[in-house]
Amino acid sequence: KVLIDVPRSDLAEELAQSQTKIQVLQDTLQQVLDRREEERQSRQLLELYLEALKNEGSILRKVAEPETVPRKEMDVVDAGTSSTGPSAKTALSDQILAALKEKPAPELCLDSQDLELVLKEDTQALASALRCNKQKAEALQQACDQELSKRLQQVQTLHSLRSTSKGKKTLP
């Protein structure tokens, strides 16, 4: 926030960079701050939603139970075993599966831990749990992998900026 609020000319002089590069830097930092705020608000909204789901647990169980039986039957017919369905159910929570089914870009709605869980999940089990083909499940896992990589890169960039900023403060 401080780097965004500093006048462009002062920051350019301090970092020995052109004002256009500083403008790009400040714009990027503002985008990161905006995204963090959106993520914070999304997390709060999700927590409220999960709290409401817990309070309405019986409704959630009624919705989840009818899905379980057809999935097991489908696994027995398609894969010859019913072990695929339960593994998908135990590894990924109902909330993660709901986000993966309902959202147009679910990788943006899930936190990093949930993204990691989706990546670790067997593709066939994920496809079975989502009732989609294996290619769609692979594409979803790939999108989650890209989002997780992007988040890691953002964190590394922020750490780099923070360490650079700390180094500049001690010099004068």
Of 3.60.20.10, 2.30.300.10, 1.20.1250.20, 1.10.1490.10, the CATH number of 94-167 is 1.10.1490.10
- Here the tokens at position 88 are 């998908």
* pLDDT number for residue 92: 79
| pLDDT tens per residue, range 126-144 | 888 888 888 888 888 898 8
Q: Any idea where the domains of the chain sit in the sequence?
A: 8-64, 94-167
Comparing C-alpha atoms, which of 64, 63, 84 is closest to residue 74? Answer: 84
Put residue 20 in one of left, alpha, beta given phi > 0 → left and psi -120 to 50 → alpha: alpha
The whole model's pTM is what?
0.44
CB 75 within 8 A of CB 81: yes
| pLDDT tens per residue, range 94-137 | 888 888 888 778 788 788 888 888 888 888 888 888 888 888 88
